[in-house]
Amino acid sequence: MSLPGAPFLTRAGGELRFDGHSLADLGRRFGTPLYVYSRRAMRAAFDAYERALAGRPHLVCYAMKANSSLAVLQTFAQAGAGFDIVSGGELTRVLAAGGRADRVVFSGVGKTRAEMRQALLAGVRCFNVESEPELETLNAVALELGRVAPVSLRVNPDVDAGTHPYISTGLKGNKFGVAHADAVATYRRAASLPGLRVAGIDCHIGSQITQIGPYLDALDRLLDLVEAVEAAGIPIHHVDVGGGLGITYTDEQPPPAADMVRALLARLDARGHGHREVLFEPGRSLVGNAGVLVTEVLVLKPGETKNFCIVDAAMNDLVRPAMYEAWMAIEPCVARAEPPITWDVVGPICESGDWLGRERVLALQPGDRLAILSAGAYGMTMASNYNTRPRAAEVMVDGDAVHLIRERERVETLFADERLV
């Protein structure tokens, strides 16, 4: 079976390599825990969307909460991407990395007035508004600044994305978006407010989606609304179908991005909306398989009922297993010939929830390095300093080049803003 992350991630002569670089060597050189990203893998994932959209008015907005390290943002900005942001902090970050404000869409169910002001002054492309009260507030903030805010309503299409409940966002019971039944009235209200300009419509139905069907259902629901809103005399320019395409962690087989895009374009054409600008907001599918987390085995604790392999990465570095019970592949950086046994791979944090992989069959010795695969999305961005653990260093490989893109955090900086009483 091929590794998640192939063709950039390979095993040759027992050695795991990312874009040709030995992960064991990178771990030795930069220390562990260490995130390693492949710039070429990120570009390839982005290009797959771009190629499928060639010849169409479109904008692929990278959902930067998946991985917001500056060099990652720079990689996508240079490729011509837009960005989907969910906070003022993300706006500051993406501008610092060379992203263009006029390619930024601002999502999120709880934007503050300060964030609205910041985004208006920067000149973002669109606000994805999630409720009528948010419309009123945005209108007031825009009028105070003498600006007009371009808006799109995030509609809750009430379709089941068929994914984990924590990452399913397009059902009636979710906190996200304007209910489908209220959308036309909310568009009328938006069109009546002088500080707003209706620009588009959007949705985002969930994450780690592995089928095209839910996207087509959501698009149909959006197009029904576009037709109703335009019949009410309010033109809608773009259709934003959100993000959420899944990746392979173990045996998932999500459709290639190009297939998903083509199916949606075909549906737009079939319904007479082929001329519209279409926006996508992919996060995980652009970076997830373009990153791994390298960690070192500290202690092996074979036991009566379980064997524990304690490594130097923990839930603070990579929370997906603890938070979502996510299964992530764990591979030795250098394969051993000895017969493997079954281990629970856990971190050193004082929590039983601090695990990275359960019941993994591995041949290990202390000091070995392991790679946790598919860690490029929702890895570093969800890292914390629990247990006063400095966050990991990050390296980006790009052909022959190896760039340290984030230094390992220092303990002193963790409490630099604190004061003794």
Specify whether the CB–CB gap between 59 and 277 falls below 8 A. Answer: yes
Tell me: cis bond preceding 57? Omega within 30 of 0 counts. Answer: no
* 3-class state of residue 54 by DSSP: coil
The amino acid that residue 76 corresponds to is: F
- The H or E element containing residue 154 is strand 149-156
The reply to whether 130 sits near ligand PLP by the rule CB under 6 A is: no
Candidates 43, 204, 238, 267; binder of ligand PLP (CB under 6 A) is: 204
* 3-class state of residue 203 by DSSP: coil
- Report d(CA 220, CA 222) in Å as an integer: 5
The reply to whether 282 sits near ligand PLP by the rule CB under 6 A is: yes
- Report d(CA 105, CA 24) in Å as an integer: 39
**Using CB under 6 A as the criterion, what x/- string covers residues 285-304 for binding ligand PLP?**
x-------------------
Report the residue number whose CB is nearest to ligand PLP: 283
CB 202, min distance to ligand PLP, A: 8
- Residues between 349 and 388 that touch ligand PLP (CB under 6 A): none
Q: Is 350 a catalytic residue?
A: yes
**Using CB under 6 A as the criterion, what x/- string covers residues 206-245 for binding ligand PLP?**
-x----------------------------------xxxx
CB 208, min distance to ligand PLP, A: 6
With CB under 6 A as the rule, give the number of residues binding ligand PLP: 17
128-131's contacts with Cβ under 8 Å and 24+ in sequence apart are 128/152, 128/153, 128/154, 128/202, 128/240, 129/153, 129/154, 129/178, 129/190, 130/154, 130/176, 130/177, 130/178, 131/178
Q: Which stretch binds ligand PLP (CB under 6 A): 1-9, 72-80, 275-283, 327-335?
A: 275-283
Which is nearest to 246 in space by CA: 60, 109, 74, 66? 66
Task: Say which DSSP state 372 is in.
Answer: E
Which CB, 173 or 303, lies closer to ligand PLP?
A: 173
* Identified catalytic residue from 61, 126, 203, 350: 350
- Residues between 56 and 95 that touch ligand PLP (CB under 6 A): 63, 65-66, 84, 86
Q: Radius of gyration (Cα) for the chain, nearest Å?
A: 23
Residues with Cβ within 8 Å of residue 322, at least 6 apart in sequence: 315, 351, 353, 354, 355
CB 101, min distance to ligand PLP, A: 18
Which CB, 282 or 291, lies closer to ligand PLP?
A: 282
- Report d(CA 249, CA 367) in Å as an integer: 25
Specify whether the CB–CB gap between 240 and 105 falls below 8 A. Answer: yes
The reply to whether 332 sits near ligand PLP by the rule CB under 6 A is: no
Which is nearest to 142 in space by CA: 189, 186, 97, 196? 196
CB 125, min distance to ligand PLP, A: 14
Which is nearest to 203 in space by CA: 181, 217, 193, 218? 218
CB 85, min distance to ligand PLP, A: 9
Which CB, 84 or 158, lies closer to ligand PLP?
A: 84
Which CB, 107 or 248, lies closer to ligand PLP?
A: 107
The reply to whether 283 sits near ligand PLP by the rule CB under 6 A is: yes
CB 135, min distance to ligand PLP, A: 17
Candidates 90, 158, 281, 398; binder of ligand PLP (CB under 6 A) is: 281
CB 295, min distance to ligand PLP, A: 23
Active site residues: 350
Using CB under 6 A, list all residues that contact ligand PLP: 63, 65-66, 84, 86, 107, 204, 207, 242-245, 281-285
